[in-house]
């Protein structure tokens, strides 16, 4: 069989696309987090811009709706002085029957330098990276249930900011893991950075046993899952999972796996609570926890902009 | 020209004759007349006058390959000439008999459609085509088809291609009805609900965020089929197994004496889920690629006879249909031209002799076909005297790289692209006529 090259690295093992955290060396992850740290101060300046991507065109291609992620990418690109073009593909060309690769070919002809792609199918950014011009960079902004690497990286930035060291942490990820690209990216990032205990917590319909192979401990009991945790990452529960065969109701989920102040008391006293947003209050998390002093949900958003600036500036500096 | 050629008395000399049915493997000549084998031995019969001689020095002469699962694009793609390109691909791969599933457009559920397909295939004069008729109208799983009429039109069995019958009552009646006439029902075991994913359920599908088909989808369907076979006595051929558990269930069913058989495709014989790489759409296949232990069980099952045959599962897919995100890409791959090479590769790794290896793509699928066709005279029967002169002449040791731009098939997608395979076809004969000849003489070896 063939040994396939990791398509997000060039021959010198430098990052040219960001498609997944899986397979990235820890050195690259740390480099992104360090770079994000330097950009964080840009966000606090009077003039919030650096000229690293001046003259470059960044196309936000969102084949699946999103406001938050797209906005943070847009802000990040603008703070790097790039020209940003937002395309709401979900409602335009594909609706007219144009294929994904035709869309990409057309946008490439408009001299795009970077595509930020969100798609409902796992692997779509790989297809785009494989078929776009060599000078074009692709950032995966979420593909199906596969990967959401910038979210994973901003979560790592957040953990590093509050906990400093990864090597003695217990991290619990709670909720709909089977459908979550955020959970997968977090798991890859946490294992890459040397976190010794990662727990995946939820009912068997949402937390498959196969996850063990990704290096996590699978817990089907909330108390067992969060006891002694340093970090709790709550996942958003999609409404469409409710009322089918996955879960009987939002109420029952909240009762069994929702994070309340009572359950949070089982974690370490200095534990932080994270959530990729947008949150469902009273479904996966209680308001008193989401707004409580252990919550770092809003700082995550701020860090997200710096991390996306770091990713875009790093890949733009490397060539295929 | 072809009619003239058909009657041409042909002598194949300097051959290594390998007949998987009898296990014979010896040097000799083969004399062909009136589309049949008339003599086989050390030298030609004295009264035989050859109008054409094929010097098969250095090559193996074996019965033509029998592929129990290849889609030929007709009805549905007449304007693209797909039947011609795919049957050319068949003979280029040494395949002389092709069983094609009924999931065409329109579905093969009316005698007229079957007659038209048979007629068009005959007029192309390449490989023999044995259509499977739809078991239910439009493959809808509600009303059974006119199986007796369809058999008269040329169907050799009835199936549902990849469309599962959800209603067990309909399936039960379909098997009862087929059993009335002794027809064989060809079914791919896949539970309609559990079997909806795009990759095999397991750690890799979970990691890639792809919806997984559990082994249960296969075994639950098989248990249902076997119970219905016990009740109705219908003969069932299971298409394209994918799991170790499935192979084990067939082994037990055969030991019990149930009238069941099964096949496996070249993909499940050689590949596993890891070969999906970075969402390579060429590996978007039905059934999906499973794990190493499944592949190991399939390889052993094909060798010990639990699995009756190796099939190409040839499915032409256009470029546009593959250049999509993994789950949206159309499943399937081109395979007719790879069947021999991949059979040889398997035989070599299992340390089988050539006759036993070739049996998995000649005599054993041939036996399935003969049984299913209720003894159709044109069905293949090895290198015996009087057998149709359907032959495959190939260099067993000559290796070639799979270059998808040089395939006869209109479809270029296969996960085996770039692989090095052995066994280069030099001539393919159907009814004594040369249906394919390798013209790249330099590749012949020496």
Q: What is the ipTM of this complex?
A: 0.92
Q: Name the more confident of A268 and B382.
A: A268
Structure tokens at B366: 């041939």
In this prediction, residue B443 carries a pLDDT of 46
Mean pLDDT, consecutive 10-residue stretches, chain A (320 aa), reads: 75 96 96 96 81 95 89 96 88 68 88 95 95 94 96 98 97 96 98 98 94 95 97 90 81 96 98 95 96 97 96 94
- Residue B313: active-site member: yes
Q: Is it the case that residue B444 has pLDDT exceeding 50?
A: no
In this prediction, residue A89 carries a pLDDT of 76
Q: Which residue of B has its CA nearest to A211?
A: B203
Q: Do B207 and A214 lie within an 8 Å CB cutoff?
A: yes
Residues of chain A found within 8 Å of residue B326, distances taken between Cβ atoms: 121-123
Residues of chain A found within 8 Å of residue B327, distances taken between Cβ atoms: 121-123, 144
Residues B430 and B127: beta-carbon distance below 8 Å: yes
Average pLDDT over residues B273-285: 96
In this prediction, residue B394 carries a pLDDT of 98
Q: Which H helix or E strand runs over A60?
A: strand A57-62
In this prediction, residue A3 carries a pLDDT of 52
- Cα torsion at A145, A150, A156, A160 (round to 10°)? -170
The pLDDT confidence band at residue B7, using thresholds 50, 70 and 90, is low
Q: Do A127 and B210 lie within an 8 Å CB cutoff?
A: no
C-alpha closest to that of A123 among A7, A216, A23, A26: A7
Q: Is it the case that residue B6 has pLDDT exceeding 90?
A: no
Asked if B328 reaches chain A (Cβ–Cβ under 8 Å), the answer is yes
pLDDT, mean over chain B: 94
In this prediction, residue A284 carries a pLDDT of 95
Asked if B275 reaches chain A (Cβ–Cβ under 8 Å), the answer is yes
pLDDT in tens, B111-125: 999 999 999 999 999
Q: Which residue of A has its CA nearest to B326?
A: A123
Asked if A1 reaches chain B (Cβ–Cβ under 8 Å), the answer is yes
Q: In whole angstroms, give the CA distance from residue B243 to residue B266.
A: 14
Least confident range of A164-178, B7-21, B345-359: B7-21
**Is the peptide bond preceding residue B106 cis, with omega within 30 degrees of 0?**
yes
Asked if B279 reaches chain A (Cβ–Cβ under 8 Å), the answer is yes
Q: Do B210 and A131 lie within an 8 Å CB cutoff?
A: no
Least confident range of A93-107, A212-226, B151-165, B397-411: A93-107
pLDDT in tens, B71-88: 999 999 888 889 999 999
pLDDT in tens, B95-106: 999 999 999 999
Which are the contacts of B319, defined by CB distance < 8 A and separation ≥ 6?
Answer: B412, B413
In this prediction, residue A93 carries a pLDDT of 56
Q: Please give the angle made by the CA atoms of B171, B137 and B321, to the nearest 5 degrees.
A: 100
Best probe of the B interface among A17, A98, A100, A122, by most B CBs < 10 A, is A122
Q: Name the more confident of B345 and A4.
A: B345
C-alpha closest to that of A258 among A172, A176, A155, A175: A175
Q: Do A1 and B209 lie within an 8 Å CB cutoff?
A: no
Q: Which residue of A has its CA nearest to B419?
A: A1
């Amino acid at each position: 069989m063939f040994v396939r090259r990791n398509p997000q690295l060039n021959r010198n093992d430098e990052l040219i696309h960001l498609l997944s955290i899986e397979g990235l060396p820890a050195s690259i992850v740390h480099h992104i987090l360090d770079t994000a740290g330097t950009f964080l101060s840009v966000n606090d300046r009077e003039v919030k811009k650096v000229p690293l991507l001046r003259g470059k065109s960044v196309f936000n291609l969102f084949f699946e709706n999103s406001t938050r992620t797209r906005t943070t990418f847009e802000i990040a690109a603008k703070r790097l002085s790039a020209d940003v073009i937002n395309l709401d593909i979900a409602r335009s060309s594909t609706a007219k029957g144009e294929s994904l690769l035709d869309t990409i070919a057309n946008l490439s002809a408009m001299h795009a330098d970077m595509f930020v792609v969100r798609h409902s199918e796992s692997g779509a950014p790989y297809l785009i990276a494989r078929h776009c011009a060599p000078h074009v960079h692709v950032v995966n902004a979420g593909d199906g249930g596969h990967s959401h690497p910038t979210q994973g990286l901003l979560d790592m930035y957040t953990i590093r900011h509050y906990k400093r060291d990864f090597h003695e942490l217990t991290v619990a990820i709670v909720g709909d893991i089977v459908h979550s690209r955020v959970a997968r990216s977090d798991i890859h990032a946490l294992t890459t950075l040397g976190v010794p205990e990662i727990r995946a917590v939820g009912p068997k319909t949402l937390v498959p046993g196969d996850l063990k192979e990704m290096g996590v401990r699978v817990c089907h009991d909330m108390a067992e899952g969060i006891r002694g945790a340093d970090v709790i990452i709550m996942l958003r529960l999609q409404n469409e999972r409710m009322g089918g065969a996955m879960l009987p109701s939002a109420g029952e989920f909240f009762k069994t796996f929702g994070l309340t102040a009572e359950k949070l008391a089982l974690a370490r006293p200095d534990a932080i609570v994270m959530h990729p947003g947008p949150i469902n209050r009273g479904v996966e998390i209680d308001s008193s926890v989401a707004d409580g002093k252990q919550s770092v949900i809003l700082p995550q958003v701020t860090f997200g902009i710096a991390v996306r600036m770091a990713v875009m500036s790093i890949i733009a500096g490397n060539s295929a | 020209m072809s009619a003239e050629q058909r009657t041409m008395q042909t002598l194949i000399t300097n051959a290594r004759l390998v007949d998987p049915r009898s296990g014979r493997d010896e040097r000799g000549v083969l004399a062909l007349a009136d589309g049949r084998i008339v003599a086989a031995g050390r030298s030609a019969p004295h009264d035989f006058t050859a109008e054409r001689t094929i010097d098969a020095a250095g090559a193996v002469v074996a019965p033509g390959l029998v592929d129990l699962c290849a889609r030929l694009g007709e009805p549905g793609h007449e304007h693209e000439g797909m039947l011609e390109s795919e049957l050319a691909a068949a003979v280029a791969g040494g395949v002389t008999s092709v069983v094609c599933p009924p999931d065409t457009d329109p579905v093969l559920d009316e005698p007229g459609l079957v007659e038209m397909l048979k007629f068009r295939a005959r007029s192309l004069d390449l490989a023999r085509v044995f259509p499977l008729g739809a078991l239910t109208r439009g493959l809808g799983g509600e009303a059974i088809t006119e199986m007796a009429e369809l058999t008269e039109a040329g169907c050799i069995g009835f199936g549902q291609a990849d469309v599962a019958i959800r209603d067990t009552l309909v399936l039960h009646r379909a098997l009862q009805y087929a059993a009335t006439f002794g027809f064989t029902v060809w079914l791919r075991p896949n539970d309609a609900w559990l079997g909806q994913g795009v990759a095999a359920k397991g750690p890799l599908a979970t990691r890639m965020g792809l919806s997984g088909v559990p082994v249960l989808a296969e075994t639950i369907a098989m248990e249902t089929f076997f119970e219905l076979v016990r009740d109705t006595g219908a003969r069932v051929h299971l298409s394209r197994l994918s799991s170790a558990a499935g192979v084990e269930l067939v082994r037990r069913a055969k030991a019990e004496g149930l009238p069941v058989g099964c096949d496996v495709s070249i993909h499940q014989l050689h590949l596993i889920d890891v070969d999906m790489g970075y969402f390579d759409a060429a590996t978007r296949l039905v059934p999906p690629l499973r794990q190493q232990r499944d592949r190991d069980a399939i390889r052993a099952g094909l060798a010990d006879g639990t699995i009756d045959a190796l099939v190409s599962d040839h499915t032409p897919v256009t470029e546009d249909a593959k250049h999509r995100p993994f789950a949206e890409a159309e499943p399937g791959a081109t395979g007719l031209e790879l069947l021999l090479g991949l059979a040889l590769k398997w035989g070599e790794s299992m340390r089988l002799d050539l006759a036993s290896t070739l049996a998995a793509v000649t005599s054993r699928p041939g036996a399935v076909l003969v049984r299913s066709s209720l003894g159709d005279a044109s069905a293949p029967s090895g290198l015996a005297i009087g057998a149709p002169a359907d032959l495959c002449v190939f260099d067993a040791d000559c290796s070639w790289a799979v270059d998808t731009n040089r395939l006869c098939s209109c479809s270029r997608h296969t996960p085996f692209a770039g692989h090095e395979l052995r066994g280069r076809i030099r001539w393919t004969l159907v009814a004594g006529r040369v249906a394919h000849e390798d013209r790249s003489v330099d590749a012949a070896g020496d």
